[in-house]
Amino acid sequence: RTARFALDPAFTVGKVDPRLFGSFVEHLGRCVYTGIFEPEHPTADEAGLRTDVLELVRELGVTAIRYPGGNFVSGYKWEDSVGPVEDRPKRLDLAWRTTESNRFGLSEYIAFLKKVGPQAEPMMAVNLGTRGVAEAIELQEYANHPQGTALSDLRIAHGDKDPFGIRLWCLGNEMDGPWQTGHKTAEEYGRIAAETARAMRQIDKDVELVACGSSGQGMDTFAEWEATVLTETYDLVDYISLHAYYEEHDGDRDSFLASAVDMESFIENVVATCDHVGAKLKSSKKINLSFDEWNVWYMSRTDAQVSALDWPEAPRLLEDVYSVTDAVVFGSLLIALLRHADRVTVACLAQLVNVIAPIMTEPGGAAWRQTTFFPFAAAAKYGRGEVLDVRVSGPTYDTKRHGTADLLHATAVRAEDGTVTVFAVNRSQTQALPLEVALHALELTTVVEHSVLADADPDARNTLTDPERVAPHAGTGTTLDAGTLKATLEPLSWNVIRLG
């Protein structure tokens, strides 16, 4: 059976915020050390940044880059990470049972963003696990105040004359999670988040603040957490965060392929909770969503890896090697974000390099693209503009975890010049899926490109020894005639169809 939908420029979801294509650099494993930063590497620049990695980060097209954690931030002492490198202390990182050298710190992060390019924006998290209001505003003063105070002058003495201009701040990380250092109840966190936000706004009323939501829709405290936290912080914050990771459980690939069903319901439930609190408070303000950690992550393998560690520096951790199947699910998660672009206005792919990442590196050696690199790069490039409302009708299938799901998962984005890009996933493992899209209300005449990520071996991966095994290929037989787009989507595939 054919899957169908119609596109009409009069029916839109919302404009895509460039921050939807954010990412995340945590002091975890080899994301920083031997990932983005490796002074000994043959491609390293004068700042110790790997230029081979910088090139791939630019190609990936990431915008906001969240830093320095993650769980790491709940033990972070920002002052350890500034000033002369030789004076910086080594610290235990309780989150990942490793030793943090602080060779790379705040100034290096800002320098890294500048080298990525103008589209890269800082998104800095403050520690509300082991620390509180005072340390958050001290960090803000050090980073953002122009000059003439102890901490702003300290930054200048450290060599950074210009303030860092960090606008977007996360008030802690996953404070609902029992694993978090300094974990809190919703009431405890709501209070400290509100007071931190109030103080940060006393320094600069225009900062944009993200309150911690739930670490996943499956948390026991989900929804009540958001309601309690937002009741305390509604007027003081701009965003509530969401985190979600998906993996294939027990060989149940059909459910895995429908992971975005969960992601979309998570988003819709958080929107409902935000608006419920807003209604109770009789507020006309809307809280937006910062989906600041999302990815495919084989998390079930992580606990054993971490508990076996004896405080090493930058070990190999969470280095998932992604298959074609993982990339198709990943592409579907991107579609879920785009389909909710009216309220999800920040999102961060967790993470950027080596740690559950689209880019991998070998110390002293090569850097290469994982399979997940391709959907992200395409979405970041062509998913700019207005998301059109897509209502699919077509075949469905049953899954154990996510109920009945459409075989087709799709969205469409209309750029300012009127061109349209359709992003579509065929969730069937075995069947090609005929697709028809009615475009009569749009002035489109040509299929500019149909790019497909699929493989005869859905477990194929890119690795150090075979870094280009998987790459997108051109789709065949895709046509646009008399206002109707026709395509056949390969089994288990991610598709980018550009129309002009």
Q: Could you say which of 102, 107, 351, 428 contacts ligand AHR (CB under 6 A)?
A: 351
**How far is residue 187 from each of residues 175, 203, 231, 236, 410, measured CA to CA in Å?**
11, 25, 10, 16, 39
Of 205-264, binders to ligand AHR (CB under 6 A) are 215
Residue 176 interacts with ligand AHR (CB under 6 A): yes or no: no
Binding mask 111-150 for ligand AHR (x = CB under 6 A): ----------------------------------------
Inter-helix orientation angle 51-60/373-382, to 10°: 60
- Between 135 and 292, name the residue whose CB sits nearer to ligand AHR: 292
Pick the piece of the chain touching ligand AHR (CB under 6 A) from 1-9, 68-76, 141-149, 408-416: 68-76
Break the chain down into helix, strand, coil percent, rounded to 5. Answer: 30, 25, 45
d(CA 463, CA 445): 40
- Between 240 and 435, name the residue whose CB sits nearer to ligand AHR: 240
Residue 70 interacts with ligand AHR (CB under 6 A): yes or no: yes
Residue 93 interacts with ligand AHR (CB under 6 A): yes or no: no
Distance in Å, CB of 70 to ligand AHR, minimum? 3
Of the residues 79, 174, 264, 490, only one is catalytic, namely 174
- Cα 129 to chain centroid distance, Å, stands at 22
Q: Does residue 468 have an active-site annotation?
A: no
Residue 25 interacts with ligand AHR (CB under 6 A): yes or no: no
Q: Are 254 and 227 in contact (CB under 8 A)?
A: no
- Between 71 and 102, name the residue whose CB sits nearer to ligand AHR: 71
Of 361-390, binders to ligand AHR (CB under 6 A) are none
Q: Could you say which of 174, 226, 262, 320 contacts ligand AHR (CB under 6 A)?
A: 174
For 136, the 3-state DSSP assignment is: helix
Binding mask 145-164 for ligand AHR (x = CB under 6 A): --------------------
Q: Does residue 293 have an active-site annotation?
A: yes
Residue 69 interacts with ligand AHR (CB under 6 A): yes or no: yes
Distance in Å, CB of 468 to ligand AHR, minimum? 27
Q: Could you say which of 23, 71, 214, 361 contacts ligand AHR (CB under 6 A)?
A: 71
108-113: long-range pairs with CB below 8 Å, 24+: 108/37, 108/47, 108/48, 109/25, 109/67, 109/68, 110/160, 110/164, 111/47, 111/49, 112/25, 112/36, 112/37, 112/47, 112/49, 112/65, 113/65
- Amino acid identity, position 123: M
- Between 214 and 493, name the residue whose CB sits nearer to ligand AHR: 214
Rounded to a whole number, what is the distance in angstroms from the first to the last CA of the chain?
27
CB within 8 Å of 298: residues ≥ 6 apart: 247, 320
Residue 350 interacts with ligand AHR (CB under 6 A): yes or no: yes
Q: Are 168 and 210 in contact (CB under 8 A)?
A: yes
Q: Is 174 left (phi over 0), alpha (psi -120 to 50) or beta?
A: left
Q: Could you say which of 293, 320, 326, 455 contacts ligand AHR (CB under 6 A)?
A: 293
d(CA 445, CA 480): 6
Kindly state the number of chain residues that form the binding site for ligand AHR, as judged by CB under 6 A.
10
Q: Could you say which of 17, 26, 38, 93 contacts ligand AHR (CB under 6 A)?
A: 26
Residue 75 interacts with ligand AHR (CB under 6 A): yes or no: no
Of 425-454, binders to ligand AHR (CB under 6 A) are none
Pick the piece of the chain touching ligand AHR (CB under 6 A) from 13-21, 63-71, 229-237, 432-440: 63-71
d(CA 377, CA 312): 33
Q: In the bound complex, which residue of the shown chain has the CB atom lying closest to ligand AHR?
A: 70
Q: Pull the structure tokens for residue 18.
A: 């460039």
Pick the piece of the chain touching ligand AHR (CB under 6 A) from 67-75, 118-126, 379-387, 488-496: 67-75
Q: Is 64 left (phi over 0), alpha (psi -120 to 50) or beta?
A: beta
- Between 174 and 248, name the residue whose CB sits nearer to ligand AHR: 174
d(CA 172, CA 127): 5
Give kind and range of the element (H or E) at residue 386: strand 386-388
Residue 354 interacts with ligand AHR (CB under 6 A): yes or no: no
Residue 173 interacts with ligand AHR (CB under 6 A): yes or no: yes
Active site residues: 174, 293
Residues that bind ligand AHR (CB under 6 A): 26, 69-71, 173-174, 215, 293, 350-351
